[in-house]
């Protein structure tokens, strides 16, 4: 079974440009999460989709970040315009939707974003 | 104050040593406690999880949770060079659907020397 995949693995852009990150969750996983790790800090939650709906977007830093999950499959995270402090590693994770049970979050390899 | 505190290390031990990794937390609502292992340039991979207090053992790995002290530990017995990685603790609270976001520690980098 394929794991969570993310594209690109690395992106270098200049301040003010736009970048779109993509995440393909494990097939059949209704829950999709975005996290971010800024250098020297812990991995922090950004938002959570249940199928195509945003369940929790409390971690989104500001309105320069836009996440979508059309059709409840893959998700994109767009940063527009990018700022220097957006640099970091963006992780996507997915989990099943089993009610009342522990749902393991499976993580992708991350996209390393560098804003110059 | 951070939700989860974890010593970043690095921690360097000889092969065969017992390794102890720890995290403290402040939110008493946390019920699920996870340990993830992350190799360089890879995503975090779940090692084990524990629900509420107590111990859980899986091979060379033992996880302990002390909710009264808000303190969790991961012990690695007979450590191997292949255990060299960054170890992340993560926690979440419990709701009906248990699809909650995780709160991570900053990770402890472990190096096991042959």
Q: pLDDT by residue (tens digit) across A70-92?
A: 888 999 999 999 999 999 999 99
Q: What topology is assigned to B4-94 in CATH?
A: Immunoglobulin-like (2.60.40)
Q: pLDDT > 90: what percent of chain B? A: 79
Q: In the block, which residue shows the tokens 């220097």?
A: A84
pLDDT at residue B96 greater than cutoff 70: no
Smallest CA–CA distance, residue A110 to chain B, in Å, is: 6
End-to-end CA distance of chain A: 37
pLDDT by residue (tens digit) across B38-55?
999 899 999 999 988 889
Q: Which residues does A111 contact at the CB level (< 8 Å), separation at least 6?
A: A6, A7, A8, A9, A10, A11, A21, A89, A90
What are A16's two structure tokens? 């003010």
**Domain coordinates of chain B in residue numbers?**
4-94
What is residue A68's predicted lDDT score, i.e. its pLDDT?
97
The pLDDT of residue A25: 97
DSSP reduced 3-state for B83:
helix
Q: Which residue of B has its CA nearest to A4?
A: B43
Tokens describing residue A39: 């250098």
Per-window interface: A 60-89 vs B, CB < 8 A: none
Residue B99 pLDDT > 80: no
The mean predicted confidence, pLDDT, of chain A is 94
Asked whether residue A1 carries a pLDDT value surpassing 70, the answer given is no
Q: State the pLDDT at residue B49.
A: 92
Q: Is B36 on the interface with A (CB under 8 A)?
A: yes
Query: A5-97+107-115 adopts what CATH topology?
Result: Immunoglobulin-like (2.60.40)
């Amino acid at each position: 079974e394929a794991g969570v995949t993310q594209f690109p693995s690395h992106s270098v852009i200049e301040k003010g440009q736009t970048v779109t990150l993509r995440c393909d969750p494990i097939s059949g996983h209704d829950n999709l999460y975005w996290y971010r790790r800024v250098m020297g800090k812990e991995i922090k939650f950004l938002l959570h989709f249940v199928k195509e709906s945003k369940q929790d977007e409390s971690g989104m830093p500001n309105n320069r970040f836009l996440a979508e999950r059309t059709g409840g499959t893959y998700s994109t995270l767009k940063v527009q315009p990018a700022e220097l402090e957006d640099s970091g590693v963006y992780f996507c994770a997915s989990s099943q939707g089993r009610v009342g049970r522990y749902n393991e979050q499976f993580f992708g390899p991350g996209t390393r974003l560098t804003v110059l | 104050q951070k939700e989860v505190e974890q010593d970043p290390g690095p921690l360097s031990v000889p092969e065969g040593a017992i390794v102890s990794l720890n995290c403290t937390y402040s939110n008493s609502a946390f019920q699920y406690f996870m340990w993830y292992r992350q190799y360089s340039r890879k995503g975090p991979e779940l090692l084990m999880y524990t629900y509420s207090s107590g111990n859980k053992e899986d091979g060379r790995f033992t996880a302990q949770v002390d909710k009264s002290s808000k303190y969790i530990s991961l012990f690695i017995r007979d450590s191997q060079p292949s255990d060299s990685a960054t170890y992340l603790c993560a926690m979440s609270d419990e709701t009906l659907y248990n699809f909650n976001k995780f709160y991570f520690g900053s990770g402890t980098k472990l190096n096991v020397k042959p």
